[in-house]
Amino acid sequence: MRKKYRKVVVGGTFDRLHLGHKALLRKAFEVGKIVYIGLTSDEMVRNKPYAEKILPYEHRLRDLLKFIEVNGYTDYRIIKIHTAIGFADSMKGLEAIVVSEETYKGALIVNRAREEKGLKPLDIVTIPIIKSYLGDKISSSLIRAGLIDPFGRPLHWKRNSPKDV
């Protein structure tokens, strides 16, 4: 199957790899021949909600590599990033950026930065937000807070399920 783009970029913290992260990564590998993954550094995540509970970079990298291996993806490169734009504003060969509806504005910022450097803006490939059973989006923040699991299921449902009685 021919991919729509030769080189695509996707980025994130990828803490506690959940269904939303997996959908984002799957879309990147679906549309791109080579996928460049920007993985946020430990320094970058210090101001996120429940930052003290964010897994260290090496652990997040290991989880990401395991997901990639289990799914049989090839032709990728993971790059540690220290800013929200990372390397996306300077890599000439990139053709597209994969984001969620929530992070679409970030793609616009990347494109503005690329244009300021004389580079072609990236096509923006957007995936819908993946909802939890609670109706909110599945997020690492909710997982770190102990409200949902990586599949978006409320944790209190597990404890109160008939099997536990």
pLDDT lower than 70: segments of the chain? 1, 157-165
Give per-residue pLDDT as tens, 42-70.
999 988 877 888 999 999 999 999 999 99
Give the separation between CA 32 and CA 24, rounded to whole angstroms.
12
Q: Is residue 20 included in any domain, yes or no?
A: yes
CATH number at residue 19: 3.40.50.620
Q: Is residue 19 included in any domain, yes or no?
A: yes
> Taking the CA of residue 31 as centre, how many other CA atoms within 13 Å lie in the half-sphere pointing to its CB?
21
Residue 121: its pLDDT value, please? 97
Residue 161: its pLDDT value, please? 42
pTM of the predicted model as reported, rounded to 2 decimal places? 0.88
Counting the structural domains of the chain, the total is 1
Residue 159: its pLDDT value, please? 45
Give the separation between CA 8 and CA 29, rounded to whole angstroms.
8
What residues have CB less than 8 Å from 147, skipping those under 6 apart?
134, 154, 155
Q: Is residue 154 included in any domain, yes or no?
A: no
Q: Is residue 159 included in any domain, yes or no?
A: no
The range of the structural domain enclosing residue 93 comes to 5-130
